[in-house]
Amino acid sequence: MLFWQNYSSKSCCLCGSKNRLTGEHKIKSSVLREQFGDVGLYIGSPDSQSDAKFAQGLKSRHLKFLSRLCELCNSARTQPPDRAFERYNNEAQRLHQQGQHPSHANKLAGFAEGNPFYLDVFRYFAKLLSCQLADADLPRPRRLSQFAIGLSNHNPVWLATEEDSSYLDNASVHGSHKGAAHGGLVVYGDTEKRCANAFHSTLTVGPIQYVFFIRLAGIERLEFQLLFPSAHKWCQAQIDLYAGNPLDRQKMRKLGLSS
């Protein structure tokens, strides 16, 4: 396997180590604490509230990915990206409160391309996307996981910082409120060739939605189809599902997709 790293539930989803595996939050615990404090939370989809699960605290397994990280990846290798995202999110929230678009955080000192925190912000989202892929029992592109832990400086992640449409709709009725969410894993696919060509997810903190994805190169798509037939078949099912049942405009906006 040249371009993909297979997934094993008994190893780190970033480096493959089997030593001292730990859980990784789907939404940073510091962000959840800032939004909600230390109270118990209900986790679920707004579309199916009957399936909501109660998390007694921020360490609850319900707030973490099923996939695991080794202690080294979850500390020394990814702590700088974690801290860079916290700084970036704080600036984006501040700009939004001042009536500016949160994407202007990209132009601030430290976050513009070539500055100290630029790559680390993208590494944070590379880690989240790697975990989303692992949770779906899919392999991860090596360039994604290697970038996430600092073994490569080639950034494969596309990122957009936007105002969250669901938050704005609710705020127009109920006013400002706390909130946090992630968008799971979305497959971009070629409906004619029925193959995946990108993977996408979102993270929402209050009024701000981070949309991030990786596009697959042709050689990556070929290796994926040849060496991971079950994963390829799963992606085909996702592509066929949405081809036959197109998402409405509201759901497209919620997922951070252009409508």
Lowest mean pLDDT among 27-41, 74-88, 185-199, 216-230: 27-41
Of 26, 12, 2, nearest in space to 185 by CA: 26
**212, 161 Cβ separation under 8 angstroms:** no
**What pLDDT does residue 169 have?**
77
- With a cut of 90, say whether residue 49 has pLDDT above it: no
- With a cut of 90, say whether residue 142 has pLDDT above it: yes
pLDDT in tens, 74-126: 999 999 999 999 999 999 999 999 999 999 999 998 898 888 899 999 999 99
How far is 14 from 79, CA to CA, in rounded Å? 14
Lowest mean pLDDT among 59-63, 65-69, 99-103, 230-234: 59-63
